[in-house]
């Protein structure tokens, strides 16, 4: 098992025990659904509120993990992200605060529980990962994200759902570019 998978399993277990909802997204989710590509970090979306700041910072002992309380507070305040870094394995976990927009709430409701290397974890659905990667590609003009979308579309998925939300999220043009 890779260091990234070991850290994911440990962080997921810690979050589960603290009843903090999360889901795996990004490249590691891509690796579950499609042809894997190299990644050095773990991306999680989590439901974290102001009342959770102390809980989050005490869950990850400073002798094993680097975690900034200020970064957690800033991420909650700005609906952005903070990092948890495993100091021995040098694996970074990007924790993205789940946004309160209609689509992001639905995306989180659609997450699925899977078994990954004998550890159960919550993961974004294939369709929502495609939509997220389309949004990231649209913002960053990243060809890597577009290649990931093509890779994800190679297996069956709910195209009606993807097209409907792509339209709602103003991603139809970039979706058309990938599927043409």
pLDDT tier, 45 (very low <50, low <70, confident <90, very high otherwise): very high
pLDDT, position 37: 73
pLDDT, position 74: 97
The whole-angstrom separation of Cα 152 and Cα 174 is 15
List 82's β-bridge partners, or say none: 95
If you average pLDDT over residues 91-109, what whole number do you get?
96
Enumerate the CATH 3.30.460.40 domain ranges in the chain, comma separated: 3-124
If you average pLDDT over residues 158-172, what whole number do you get?
96
pLDDT, position 119: 83
pLDDT, position 40: 74
pLDDT tier, 38 (very low <50, low <70, confident <90, very high otherwise): confident
Examine the pLDDT at 22 and tell me if it is beyond 80. yes
If you average pLDDT over residues 105-126, what whole number do you get?
93
If you average pLDDT over residues 41-48, what whole number do you get?
94
Q: Is 114 helix (H, G, I), strand (E, B) or coil?
A: strand
CATH code: domain 3-124 is 3.30.460.40
Q: Tell me: the pLDDT tens digits for 81-98?
A: 999 999 999 999 999 999
If you average pLDDT over residues 124-135, what whole number do you get?
96
pLDDT, position 36: 74
pLDDT tier, 141 (very low <50, low <70, confident <90, very high otherwise): confident
Give all strands of the β-sheet with 41-46 in edge-to-edge order: 65-66, 81-86, 91-97, 41-46, 22-25, 119-123, 112-116
Examine the pLDDT at 63 and tell me if it is beyond 80. yes
DSSP code of residue 50: G
The vertex-16 CA angle with 11 and 21, nearest 5°, equals 100
């Amino acid at each position: 098992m890779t260091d990234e998978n070991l850290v994911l399993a440990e962080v997921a277990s810690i979050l589960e025990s603290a009843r903090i909802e999360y889901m795996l997204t990004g490249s590691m989710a891509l690796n579950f659904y499609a042809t894997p590509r190299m990644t050095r970090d773990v991306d999680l979306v989590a439901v974290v509120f102001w009342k959770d700041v102390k809980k989050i910072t005490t869950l990850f002992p400073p002798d094993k993990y680097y975690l900034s309380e200020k970064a957690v507070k800033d991420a909650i305040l700005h609906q952005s992200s903070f990092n948890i870094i495993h100091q021995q394995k040098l694996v970074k976990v990007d924790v993205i605060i789940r946004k309160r927009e209609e689509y992001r709430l639905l995306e989180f409701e659609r997450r699925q529980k899977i078994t990954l290397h004998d550890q159960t974890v919550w993961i974004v659905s294939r369709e929502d990962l495609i939509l997220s990667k389309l949004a990231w590609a649209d913002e960053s003009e990243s060809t890597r994200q577009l290649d990931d979308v093509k890779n994800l579309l190679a297996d069956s998925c709910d195209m009606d759902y993807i097209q409907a939300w792509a339209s709602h999220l103003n991603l139809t043009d970039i979706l058309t570019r990938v599927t043409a």
